[in-house]
Amino acid sequence: RITRHKFDGLRRKVMTTEKLIYLNIKRCINQNGYAPTFRELSEDIGISISTIHHHMRKMKERGIITYIDKMARTTKILEAYHE
């Protein structure tokens, strides 16, 4: 599980929501061989499903990920996330 805050020594790095979603998708695919559902992302990260949908659409439009609407576990990573 990757959460919003990571600690690097005494410095605290705050991740953007999109990067947090991207890293959780990548982790799930690497560990399980399939993508998480939007609900699983919502529960893991601690944000609403509508917020997950919003950021997933933005990442899809930018060509970072792809998924089939209304079909679970169809998310694929197309390219590395760049802030």
C-alpha–C-alpha distance, residues 10 and 37, integer Å: 34
CA distances in angstroms from 79 to 62, 70, 82, listed in the order given? 10, 22, 9
Residue 62's closest CA among 35, 83, 37?
83
Six-digit token string for 3: 């959460």
Question: Quick count: other Cβ atoms within 10 Å of Cβ 2?
Answer: 17
- Alpha carbon separation from 21 to 40, 42, 67, 72, 82 (Å, rounded): 11, 9, 14, 16, 13
For 25-76, what is each residue's pLDDT tens digit?
999 999 999 999 999 999 999 999 999 999 999 999 999 999 999 899 999 9
- Confidence (pLDDT) at 10: 43
What pLDDT, on the 0 to 100 scale, is given for residue 9?
A: 46
